[in-house]
Amino acid sequence: MPHFLDIHTTSQSDLRTIIDSAHSMKTARNGRPKGAKDDDQPLAGHMVALIFEKPSTRTRISFDVGVRQLGGETMVLSGADMQLGHGETIADTARVLSRYVDLIMMRTFEEDTLLEMAEYASIPVINGLTNRTHPCQIMADVMTFEEHRGPIKGKKVVWSGDGNNVFASFAHAAKQFDFDLVFTGPEPLDPEPALDGLYSTVRNPQEAVEGADLVVTDTWVSMHDPQSARERRHNQLRGYQVNDELMSHANDDALFMHCLPAHRDDEATSSVMDGPHSVIFDEAENRLHAQKAIMRHCLGL
């Protein structure tokens, strides 16, 4: 079953096809109204379930609009409102949904929940973020880099901050798309050991961003992190804020990315987010195009 569960579990050639298809679908729309359907409507007659166990703005809206542009229909579901949130097993939910819809996109907490859904569904399942990874986001980020600077192969990408789920998907992408990834952040917030070998660590942020083609950060407190850890994390991460001074150590034409939502003036200053290096809103837009290509890939359309 062609699920889209992670970047490292998708082949390099499929990843390339998805990004190329995203670029060409974006170009083909060329300023048309957002609600206008694509000419070919490959998802006509298809129903897509979008399940959220955590909040979302970009993932929810970009998938919903994307399915409609492809000619399909969506159901946006909150996990808490389904029997899923009241004890029905993931496996039974997967089997039942497979009788009603053609594709499932799920945002959940534990990766095992997503993997169980994929194991028991007879239709494709797409990862819309777990505590461990966020592959759709990084497909949009690679697409955005290519749009502005050409191939990402051999480029230097520096992540400053928490070694979290979004970083993990960057680490998977570094191997698949062959770019150099540097992590700079405090040791207690290092990425999980399973990612060792996919990136290098430089503790000093100014040193880390020397020669960077892309600087990336994310929130200091993710949705799965306890709020009680907030103050400690802020203290640990303050020195890793992406600000004008830090960006001045990167290449002059370095890009700045953030998956959003951002806590402005915590992990990145507004001067960087709204400044000349920033491509954050292109990134957000490209979620739409990249995910349309992911859905077509999963459905073989």
Binding-site annotation: residue ranges for L-ornithine: 165, 218, 222-223
Q: How far is the CB of 115 from ligand NVA (least distance, A)?
A: 18
Classify residue 188 by its DSSP letter: G
Which distant-in-sequence residues (6+ apart) come within 8 Å of 150 by Cβ? Answer: none
CB of 218 or CB of 283, closer to ligand NVA:
218
Binds ligand CP (CB under 6 A): choice among 25, 90, 259, 294? 259
- Distance (Å, rounded) from C-alpha 76 to C-alpha 67? 11
Residue 134 designated active-site: yes
- Residues annotated within the binding site for carbamoyl phosphate are 56-59, 83, 107, 134-137, 259-260, 287
- Distance (Å, rounded) from C-alpha 72 to C-alpha 66? 9
The kind and range of the H/E element at 252 are none
CB of 184 or CB of 219, closer to ligand CP:
219
CB atoms within 10 A of CB 28: 12
- Distance (Å, rounded) from C-alpha 241 to C-alpha 263? 11
Binds ligand NVA (CB under 6 A): choice among 47, 75, 202, 223? 223
Long-range contacts of 78-82 (CB under 8 A, 24+ apart): 78/51, 78/52, 78/53, 79/51, 79/52, 79/53, 79/108, 80/53, 82/51
- Distance (Å, rounded) from C-alpha 5 to C-alpha 232? 32
Binds ligand CP (CB under 6 A): choice among 3, 26, 46, 58? 58
Residues of span 237-256 touching ligand NVA by CB under 6 A: none
- Catalytic position from the list 132, 277, 287, 289: 287
Segment interacting with ligand NVA, rule: CB under 6 A, options 18-26, 160-168, 195-203, 242-250: 160-168
Q: How far is the CB of 229 from ligand NVA (least distance, A)?
A: 13
- Contact between 222 and ligand NVA (CB under 6 A)? yes
Q: How far is the CB of 280 from ligand NVA (least distance, A)?
A: 12
CB atoms within 10 A of CB 30: 6
Residues of the shown chain interacting with ligand NVA in the complex, contacts defined by CB under 6 A: 129, 164-166, 218-219, 222-223, 259
Query: Catalytic residue numbers?
Result: 107, 134, 137, 218, 259, 287
